[in-house]
Amino acid sequence: AYFVLQVIYARRKYKISPPETTGHPEFERIFRAQANCSEYFPIFLSLLWVAGIFFHQGVAAGCGLLYLYTRFKYFQGYAAAAQGRL
C-alpha cells in the first residue's frame, strides 16, 4: 500500500493523470519501482504461506519481515536519481 500511495502522490505532484505511465523522470522511476515490487508480491505471499505451513511459522514471519524491509530499501533506491545511486 505504501508503494501505491507513493505513485498517487507522484501523479499529483507531476500532474500525470491515469492511465498515463510516462512523464516526469522521477514519476517514471517511482512507477517502475512500484510495478517491480508488485510483480514479485504473489510469489512472496505463496512462499511465505508454504514456509509457514511446512516449516516454523516464526522463522517464516521473520523472513517475511526481512523481505518487506529489503523491498522498501529497493524502492527507495530505485526511486532515487541515477546519479544518486552511483
- Split at pLDDT 50, 70, 90, the class of 86 is low
pLDDT at 83: 73
**CB of 47 closer than 8 Å to CB of 64:** no
Whether residue 69 lies inside any domain: the answer is yes
**CATH of residue 34:** 1.20.120.550
Model pTM score: 0.82
Alpha carbons within 13 angstroms on the beta-carbon side of residue 60 total: 14
Would you please indicate which residues are annotated as catalytic (active-site) residues?
12, 85
Domain that holds residue 62: 1-12+25-80
pLDDT (0 to 100) of residue 79: 87
Task: Confirm whether 86 is domain-assigned.
Answer: no
Contact 50, 20 (CB under 8 A): no
pLDDT in tens, 42-78: 999 999 999 999 999 999 999 999 999 999 999 998 8
Query: What is the number of domains present in the chain?
Result: 1
